């Protein structure tokens, strides 16, 4: 019996998807619930399992095609799994081995007719294809050219000396490749452009001495990992510091809705995660109530799901404030773009040892530049600067986080 393979129910607010990849081709047998095809939405990749066991009969929605909820993707012919006949497989392998042996033996015979010998020599010449001529090989050695990337103009596509010289004078192969944007990359582009076109974005900077945080991590990292099963990183300190600062400066945690300012009485903090598919921002909901261990554990889980392609749309929706860490890639300073409709985003950067003045003396300390990009329509420069100062004070004296100061 034929069974239709359909687009499953799409997440709320998602109207369509793009066929990203078929894992099976017509004629392939599939088990029930085995992943048949990946569908890419604006945020996540959905797996479409086989509705029954059988043979994939037809694909009606090809890779790259846009599909909607309930649309047919293909058909499956229900059947039992094919039984493998071990004896038959062994006999077939034996026959193939014998056939190859016969062909090898016949190649040793010397009673070939002149015409067959000529045909064989001609085939051998044609099979050389784009092999370089002796003069081309010498020219390639002199010019330092890899002939595998040179297009041959000689007989049968053979690479000649002029081909090598033209390739060398042109500076080598000038290849181009056009790749269509993925659904996620297109959506990221739309949102980034929307932020620039809508908000009045301004960025303020400060620097943080992370010596106190590094001392705490060095002292307690082993005990922390043993008790909580997760490493103590920098991000949890930054999340806690930002939550404290957001409570002191609630306009930084607000958003614009038409001609109204929406003040959020909670801190849903988005953590930017880089994946092969693009940037994803899973949300730590009510981050103000989370412990350092809870934050680190949630971030680790989100990062694993994001890079494994199993993150859910609801994990990415909402958020009142975002933190992005370009420092993991070596960025010294940057101006991050807003994650609309949020009004602010904090950029972390790489830690560098730098000389600073401390108690009248020059000392070397691990320093980080931090940047706050904000929507100047509702966030004044004073609020932005005071927010950054509050973050700086909390990180340079982590006891403030425990005392709520």
Q: Which residues are catalytic?
A: 376, 380
Radius of gyration of the chain (CA): 31
273-275 vs 278-280, strand pairing mode: antiparallel
Query: How many CB atoms are located within 10 Å of the residue 97 CB?
Result: 10
Per the CB < 8 A criterion, the answer to whether 378 and 338 are in contact is no
> What is the token pair recorded at 260?
């109204």
Q: How far apart are CA 293 and CA 39, in angstroms?
A: 34
Distance (Å) of CA 165 to CA 147, 160, 169, 176, 329: 11, 9, 6, 21, 40
Strand partners, 347: 324, 371
Tell me which DSSP letter residue 195 carries. Answer: H
Per the CB < 8 A criterion, the answer to whether 324 and 360 are in contact is no
Select from 218, 214, 219, 253 the least CA-distant residue to 237.
Answer: 214
Helix orientation angle between 235-248 and 292-308, rounded to the nearest 10 degrees = 110
Name the E strands within 314-358.
321-325, 344-348, 352-358
Per the CB < 8 A criterion, the answer to whether 46 and 39 are in contact is yes
Strand partners, 255: 262, 342
Per the CB < 8 A criterion, the answer to whether 315 and 298 are in contact is no
Per the CB < 8 A criterion, the answer to whether 127 and 108 are in contact is no
Q: How far apart are CA 166 and CA 173, in angstroms?
A: 10
> What is the token pair recorded at 314?
């609801």
Per the CB < 8 A criterion, the answer to whether 76 and 31 are in contact is no
Helices (H), 183-337: 183-198, 211-228, 235-248, 292-308
């Amino acid at each position: 019996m034929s069974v239709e393979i359909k687009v499953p129910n799409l997440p709320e607010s998602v109207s369509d998807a793009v066929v990203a990849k078929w894992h099976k081709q017509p004629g392939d047998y599939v088990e029930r619930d085995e992943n048949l095809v990946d569908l890419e939405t604006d945020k996540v990749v959905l797996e479409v399992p086989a509705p029954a066991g059988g043979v994939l009969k037809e694909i009606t929605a090809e890779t790259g095609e846009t599909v909607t909820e309930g649309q047919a993707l293909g058909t499956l012919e229900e059947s039992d799994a094919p039984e493998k006949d071990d004896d038959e497989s062994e006999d077939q392998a034996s026959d193939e081995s014998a056939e190859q042996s016969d062909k090898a033996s016949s190649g040793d015979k010397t009673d070939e007719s002149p015409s067959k010998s000529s045909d064989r020599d001609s085939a051998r010449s044609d099979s050389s294809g784009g092999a370089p001529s002796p003069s081309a090989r010498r020219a390639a050695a002199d010019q330092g050219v890899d002939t595998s990337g040179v297009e041959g103009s000689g007989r049968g596509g053979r690479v000649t000396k002029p081909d090598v010289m033209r390739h060398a004078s042109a500076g080598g192969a000038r290849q181009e490749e056009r790749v269509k944007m993925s659904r996620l990359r297109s959506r990221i582009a739309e949102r980034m452009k929307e932020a620039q076109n809508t908000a009045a974005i301004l960025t303020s900077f400060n620097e943080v001495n992370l010596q106190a945080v590094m001392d705490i991590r060095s002292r307690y990292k082993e005990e922390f990992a043993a008790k909580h099963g997760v490493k103590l990183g920098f991000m949890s300190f930054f999340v806690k510091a930002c939550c404290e600062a957001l409570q002191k400066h609630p306009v930084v945690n607000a958003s614009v809705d038409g001609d109204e300012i929406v003040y959020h009485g909670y801190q849903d903090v988005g953590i930017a995660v880089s994946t092969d598919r693009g940037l994803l921002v899973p949300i730590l909901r009510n981050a103000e109530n989370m412990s350092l261990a809870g934050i680190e554990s949630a971030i680790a889980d989100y990062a694993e799901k994001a890079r494994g392609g199993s993150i859910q749309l609801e994990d990415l929706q909402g958020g009142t404030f975002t933190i992005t860490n370009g420092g993991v890639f070596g960025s010294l300073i940057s101006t991050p773009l807003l994650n609309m409709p949020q009004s602010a985003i904090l950029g972390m950067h790489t830690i560098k040892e730098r000389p600073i003045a401390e108690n009248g003396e020059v000392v070397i300390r691990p320093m980080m530049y931090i940047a706050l990009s904000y929507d100047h329509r509702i966030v004044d420069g004073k609020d932005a600067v005071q927010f950054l100062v509050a973050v700086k004070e909390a990180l340079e004296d982590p006891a403030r986080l425990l005392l709520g100061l």
